[in-house]
Structure 1
Amino acid sequence: MKIIATILCAAAILTGVTTVDRDLFKICEQSSFCRRCRKVEPNNSPFELVPGTLNTFDDSFTADLVNKNNGHIFVLNVEGVQGDIFRVIVDEKTPLKKRYRVTDALKGPAKPHSISVTDSKSEIIVTSGQNKAVIQASPFKIDFYRSEVLYVSANAKGLFKFEHYRTKPVSPPEGEENKEQEEPRDDVDNEPGAWEEDFNSFHDTKPNGPEAIALDFTFPQAEVLFGIPEHADSFALKSTLDGEPYRLHNMDVAYYELNNGMGLYGSVPVIYGHGTNGTAGVFWMNAAETWVDIYNEKNVPSLIVSEPDDEPLAAHFMSESGIVDAFILLGESPLNTFKQYTDLTGVAPLPQHAAFAFHQSRWNYNDEVDVLNVSANYDVHDIPLDTMWLDIEYTDHKKYFTWDPNTFPHPLEMIANLTELGRHLTIIIDPHIKVTDNYNVHKDLTERDYYTKNKDGEVFEGECWPGTSGWPDLFNPDVRKYLADQYLLENFNTTTQDVFIWNDMNEPSVFSGPELTMPKDNLHNTEMGTYEHRVVHNLYGHMQLMSTFDGLVRRGEGKLRPFILTRSHFSGSQRYAAIWTGDNTAEWGHLQASLKMCLSEAVSGFSFCGADVGGFLRDPTSDELVERWHQTGAFLPFFRAHSHMETKRREPWLYPEATKLVIRDAIRKRYTYLPLWYVLFYEHERYGYPVMRPLLGHYPNDPEAFAIDNEFLLGDRLLVHPVTQLGATKVDVYFPRNSITGEGDFWYDADDFTLFNSVGYVTVPVNSYKIPVYQRGGAIVPKKEVIRRASTLMKNDPYTLIVCLDRFNEANGTVYDDDQRSYEYRNGKYVYSQIEFKSNVLSSKLIDPTATFETLAWIERVVIAGLDKVPQSATLSTSSKRITLDVVEHQRAYTIRNLAVNIAEEWEITLNY
């Protein structure tokens, strides 16, 4: 049977298959809309503005747009958006039915910005602040300028395509002439796959026929393009003209391949172009299957870092359905442009502090005893741990919101045992629902008519982990509320407020479906009407996150911050959940890919990103790989070890003692930096900048840094170059050029304060314990060096401030703290301090003096590196005391101890010479 065969393919990880089955997934040539969009003749656009149709408003204008090939009329809408952003919308003027518009990706309505419009016969000029858009009438094109510099052009290549809704052509009875159609036709009607399409044994009915849209964007100032995750590929996007476009189509891909643009679990349709003259971006807000061609006129197949005389780099977005809805981001600098995107789609809200600590997971821990034994062994081996995770086997026969009565008969006791140790439990909740009469969730969804429907309007059933399953219609707000209610303690009373949630398989993964996901002609009841799955596919997981987040907020009575991990994601999902790179493999290449993938996600809004430490699939090829993966994970935002049920157990103490100690050292190092992670994520929520950053984020005028993706920055404070090569005894670390000084910044080895102050690659020796991490001169980093079994027990422990001076003997940084669990920080219950070193004085000033937070945590120690002369002593001054402290020299730095000042105090330390 087809279903059984497909299930076996989908569950290849259980049948010994160790490579992705590419036959299960389409290439562009097998997708009719991608074929059609890709073969549009360039530089011959049939679209032009219709004279006399301009309508102007305070913040936008509209004009009619005609396709000269068939006479169909569209409406162009150009809006000014606050923050140096333009929005371009194109839709049919009189469609046969309303086309779907994405709304849930944005954190709220885009804030309008006033514009002025100048109209002539050949062009329309729209001015918004220091930016302008010049719309050429024929052929249709829009050029976007910032301060009179051209940053983005839309339809400069003439690849714009918009397939209007139409009725299906009917062949006349034999012997009769074909009557003239009531609407203009074009050759799209005759394209194979335009009106129905087969792939493998699946048939897509396509009731609306061809409905694709496409538009090219050129970046004249760019030397590198990046973004559009999720792909297991380089950070800098490659030319696709001789191969496959990058695909944005959320799918469950086991054993995914490296170094290609195949679609994976998430789709974030934002792209950036950066060069030494500035940065710009395009957010293509469309949730349908999308392919993106990357253009380089010289067709260089390697990483795109263009020469100055090259043709401009460009991206060609091709979506199966929806409308054109694009935001043009004219931020000028990389960080400003990243912020423009998060201003639209939101940031990751500050999670509970424990979420930044170490997580231990496996598919699956056997029972309650197993869970508690693993937790206990972390204590035996003096390795900190904050969260234990349970995969699908904890449930009663894959029925979510239940527990297996045999293996997990006392979940509340198990949770309490973890909580008493300062730890948490995370459990998985997938969107598929087991079809069985003895499951209350299934019965409720059936009785309330809450399931997704097939093309015929009947409940859609497919195969997933429980066997025959249904999928809640998460686009219906009533369905989302029902599922959110299931998290409330009166319904899920075998959990507590301390339990975190993991949403997986939410692409959605359907083992019996085309490309292992939901048929495109399924039907959803949205707030805008009934739409096919094809137009909303990439949003399905996002809608589950909205539901889960709502449920957890209400479970905590609006007081506790939820923590959710998701696999599927779309633009804006960062507002609800952290992400990870999915079912990776225990190989060196996948370790290397984790950096590239999380960098691409970070600039696309997803700062809270990680990868399964050790690799999910297969057994690690060596103990060294496990060591290096823990070291790398310790400096990625989300730090979780996870593995497949058919792999060997991987808890640290199961390895040789030498490996266990390296793992232990890496995890403990993570815990020392928790104050840094906490302040960086608070500042991410407050200011919108990514936490993990590519080098070009702070070194935008150093072309050598543009494509580097084997090292990264944490904020502007640390540079991290993990060891990701087998047998490495040295690594080549690149230290970038400062845009202002033209020199290299000072960089201090985080272990021994060795100073590096040149530009370029430096070969650094490494041993098994070494993680090449460098603190920027001019940065101050808060740490906690008392390590306990869990981060929750470190709350009131003392801080150490690491002060690394720049060329001018100055430095600054920040410290942040709150109750680490609740939303009270949004009510002013926090401490946020600016720490500055200048003129031989280190001082702490409250950034928000009106904020108040009582804490027992204090500054115990200060370490200063880079002083050009030896201080004899230091004087500490606060509002209540003035004392003299000793200064001790150690490892190229000077240490001042016993400060004993509360982190909520203002104070000064003066160095005495």
Structure 2
Amino acid sequence: MAEASFTALRSFYPGKRPWLISRSGYAGLQRYARTWTGDNVSSYDTFRFNIAMGMNLGLSGLPFYGHDIGGFVGPIPDEELLLRWCQSAVFQPRFVMHSWKPDGSITEPWLYPNRLSDIRNFIRIRYRFLAYIYDLAIRASEKGIPMESPVALEFPEDISLQLDSLDRMAGDAILIPSPPEQGKDEVSMRLPNEINWFDPTHQIVYKGGEKLSFHYYLGEIRYFFRCGTVIPTFYKIEAIGKSLLDSYEFIVIPPAEKSDIDLLPIACIHSEDDGESDFILGSYWRWKMEYTIEGENCYCLNITQTESIDEENNSSVFRKKWRFSVPDGFMLYDENEVEIGKSVVFDFDKAPKKLSLRVEGTYRNIHG
């Protein structure tokens, strides 16, 4: 069924990528459609089970999945369950509220009016990070690497990591803590060894191997950036389809020490296209971003175009804004070593082939 639908859409819309969702399928479904974890129950146990189910789907070759936020059947989710589910879904491949109740009630973002602003904020954060999530989707389609995975998959040599933990990675740059137990707001987690981790909420760097305990409140979203990475985000936070995706912000997370570069030589692989044409060579731009050490507390972020759109496929000029920003304690400099500031914006009418930014400074708060 999925293959037949895929073939029919390809025939009806030549040159456009089909977008299908199927609730079931056999091995190979990932070639034609995404899926979700079925008619889940509105319960805290199911919510936690769904996180594990999603990671297992990714490990089994099905990277595009999701869960009905708040549960599809069962009682109306209480305030805690709805917010925890929204927090968890921000970096997952799919973020959808979908429900059926015998009394006709519906799970919606405004189910608890006093929490609407929190849920709206979670949705805005997801919109912001969709550029990164899109890069993860491309990587999954090309290499089979899950978009959301157990931390142990990214760090297989760290035998201290628990395989049954709900801590997880979104790609190789963002670490997401497991949700608290029901009725609690405290989380404990162990950071993977040998990597420095940046907490953007509190502007603190933590050493790998540290065990953290912290409060995870209902109205916030917690995650950690891997030092030595670059995170693509959308600068204009608007609903997809209502505006041009022409403004990006790259969150530069400099290395805290040389080992951050050694363990992850490529800081970012970023692609851009029209979002609907067949994703084939010549239909997208791609850049590789790498750090090099220039001196003490001084790095150069080198950005190199590795793929470009063929002239025959390039129906529009590359009119985009790229903004780069660094954490507190760092400054950006241009190729002539002139200080730019904590952020810089480039207006491009052509896709950049090479770009270099000098990053100087240190993290202001290093734990321990």
Q: What's the TM-score once normalised by structure 1's chain length?
A: 0.36
Paired AA for residue 843 in structure 1: N
**Structure 2 counterpart of 1:732:** 188
Alignment CA distance shift 1:860-1:837 (3 Å): same
**Structure 1 counterpart of 2:67:** 611
Superposition pairs for residues 545-560 of structure 1, below 5 Å? Answer: 545-556=2-13, 558-560=14-16
Contact 2:180 2:216 in 1 (8 A): no
**Structure 2 counterpart of 1:833:** 287
For residues 660 and 624 of structure 1, the distance between their equivalents in structure 2, rounded to whole angstroms, comes to: 13
Once the two structures are TM-superposed, the CA of residue 621 in structure 1 deviates from its matched residue by: 4.1
Superposition pairs for residues 356-435 of structure 1, below 5 Å? Answer: none
Deviations 1:701-752 (A, max 9, x none): 2233242331111121111124253232211122122xxxxx3x11112434
RMSD (Å) for aligned C-alpha atoms: 2.4
Select the residue among 334, 343, 365 that pairs with 1:896. Answer: 343
Contact 1:584 1:616 in 2 (8 A): yes
**Structure 2 counterpart of 1:772:** 222
For residues 187 and 338 of structure 2, the distance between their equivalents in structure 1, rounded to whole angstroms, comes to: 43
Alignment CA distance shift 1:754-1:620 (3 Å): farther
For residues 724 and 555 of structure 1, the distance between their equivalents in structure 2, rounded to whole angstroms, comes to: 47
Residue 679, structure 1, aligned to residue 138, structure 2: no
Select the residue among 76, 91, 95 that pairs with 1:620. Answer: 76
Residue 844, structure 1, aligned to residue 307, structure 2: no
Select the residue among 324, 332, 342 that pairs with 1:861. Answer: 324
**Structure 1 counterpart of 2:209:** 759
**Structure 1 counterpart of 2:106:** 649
For residues 567 and 709 of structure 1, the distance between their equivalents in structure 2, rounded to whole angstroms, comes to: 26
Deviations 1:31-70 (A, max 9, x none): xxxxxxxxxxxxxxxxxxxxxxxxxxxxxxxxxxxxxxxx
For residues 912 and 701 of structure 1, the distance between their equivalents in structure 2, rounded to whole angstroms, comes to: 31
Once the two structures are TM-superposed, the CA of residue 827 in structure 1 deviates from its matched residue by: 4.2
Once the two structures are TM-superposed, the CA of residue 777 in structure 1 deviates from its matched residue by: 1.4
Once the two structures are TM-superposed, the CA of residue 694 in structure 1 deviates from its matched residue by: 1.4
**Structure 1 counterpart of 2:296:** none
For residues 903 and 747 of structure 1, the distance between their equivalents in structure 2, rounded to whole angstroms, comes to: 34
For residues 227 and 349 of structure 2, the distance between their equivalents in structure 1, rounded to whole angstroms, comes to: 26
Alignment CA distance shift 1:885-1:896 (3 Å): farther
Paired AA for residue 814 in structure 1: I
Three-state SS of the structure 2 residue aligned to 1:565 is: coil
Superposition pairs for residues 362-511 of structure 1, below 5 Å? Answer: none
For residues 804 and 623 of structure 1, the distance between their equivalents in structure 2, rounded to whole angstroms, comes to: 38
Gaps of at least 5 residues in structure 2 are 294-298, 362-368
Q: What's the TM-score once normalised by structure 2's chain length?
A: 0.86
Deviations 1:427-460 (A, max 9, x none): xxxxxxxxxxxxxxxxxxxxxxxxxxxxxxxxxx
Contact 1:723 1:771 in 2 (8 A): no
Contact 1:610 1:638 in 2 (8 A): yes
Three-state SS of the structure 1 residue aligned to 2:251 is: strand
Three-state SS of the structure 1 residue aligned to 2:18 is: coil
Paired AA for residue 602 in structure 1: G
Contact 1:671 1:791 in 2 (8 A): no
Once the two structures are TM-superposed, the CA of residue 598 in structure 1 deviates from its matched residue by: 0.6
Superposition pairs for residues 163-182 of structure 1, below 5 Å? Answer: none
Select the residue among 763, 774, 781 that pairs with 2:231. Answer: 781
Once the two structures are TM-superposed, the CA of residue 797 in structure 1 deviates from its matched residue by: 2.2
Deviations 1:211-249 (A, max 9, x none): xxxxxxxxxxxxxxxxxxxxxxxxxxxxxxxxxxxxxxx
Once the two structures are TM-superposed, the CA of residue 864 in structure 1 deviates from its matched residue by: 4.5
Deviations 1:262-305 (A, max 9, x none): xxxxxxxxxxxxxxxxxxxxxxxxxxxxxxxxxxxxxxxxxxxx
Alignment CA distance shift 1:728-1:795 (3 Å): same
For residues 605 and 837 of structure 1, the distance between their equivalents in structure 2, rounded to whole angstroms, comes to: 31
Alignment CA distance shift 1:569-1:753 (3 Å): farther
Once the two structures are TM-superposed, the CA of residue 792 in structure 1 deviates from its matched residue by: 5.2
Superposition pairs for residues 155-304 of structure 1, below 5 Å? Answer: none
Larger RCO of the pair (alpha carbons < 8 Å, separation 6+)? 2
**Structure 1 counterpart of 2:159:** 703
Alignment CA distance shift 1:645-1:903 (3 Å): farther
For residues 356 and 210 of structure 2, the distance between their equivalents in structure 1, rounded to whole angstroms, comes to: 37
Contact 1:836 1:843 in 2 (8 A): yes
Identity value in percent: 23
Larger Rg over CA atoms:
1
Deviations 1:766-793 (A, max 9, x none): 2222222111112211111321133552
Contact 2:248 2:321 in 1 (8 A): yes
For residues 346 and 338 of structure 2, the distance between their equivalents in structure 1, rounded to whole angstroms, comes to: 10
Once the two structures are TM-superposed, the CA of residue 845 in structure 1 deviates from its matched residue by: 0.2
For residues 257 and 37 of structure 2, the distance between their equivalents in structure 1, rounded to whole angstroms, comes to: 39
Contact 2:323 2:346 in 1 (8 A): yes
Paired AA for residue 56 in structure 2: S
Contact 2:136 2:171 in 1 (8 A): yes
For residues 54 and 235 of structure 2, the distance between their equivalents in structure 1, rounded to whole angstroms, comes to: 27
For residues 633 and 676 of structure 1, the distance between their equivalents in structure 2, rounded to whole angstroms, comes to: 14
Contact 1:591 1:629 in 2 (8 A): yes
Three-state SS of the structure 2 residue aligned to 1:679 is: helix
Contact 2:92 2:147 in 1 (8 A): no
**Structure 2 counterpart of 1:886:** 340
Contact 1:673 1:782 in 2 (8 A): yes
Alignment CA distance shift 1:769-1:794 (3 Å): farther
For residues 82 and 347 of structure 2, the distance between their equivalents in structure 1, rounded to whole angstroms, comes to: 39
Once the two structures are TM-superposed, the CA of residue 897 in structure 1 deviates from its matched residue by: 2.5
For residues 802 and 668 of structure 1, the distance between their equivalents in structure 2, rounded to whole angstroms, comes to: 20
**Structure 1 counterpart of 2:365:** none
Select the residue among 196, 202, 206 that pairs with 1:746. Answer: 196
For residues 760 and 692 of structure 1, the distance between their equivalents in structure 2, rounded to whole angstroms, comes to: 22
For residues 844 and 708 of structure 1, the distance between their equivalents in structure 2, rounded to whole angstroms, comes to: 37
Once the two structures are TM-superposed, the CA of residue 645 in structure 1 deviates from its matched residue by: 4.0
Paired AA for residue 828 in structure 1: G
Select the residue among 352, 355, 362 that pairs with 1:907. Answer: 355
Paired AA for residue 127 in structure 2: Y
Paired AA for residue 819 in structure 1: D
Once the two structures are TM-superposed, the CA of residue 609 in structure 1 deviates from its matched residue by: 1.3
Once the two structures are TM-superposed, the CA of residue 617 in structure 1 deviates from its matched residue by: 0.6
**Structure 2 counterpart of 1:819:** 274
Alignment CA distance shift 1:656-1:912 (3 Å): closer
For residues 197 and 280 of structure 2, the distance between their equivalents in structure 1, rounded to whole angstroms, comes to: 35
Alignment CA distance shift 1:731-1:903 (3 Å): farther
Alignment CA distance shift 1:587-1:826 (3 Å): same
Superposition pairs for residues 79-118 of structure 1, below 5 Å? Answer: none
Paired AA for residue 692 in structure 1: E
Paired AA for residue 874 in structure 1: Y
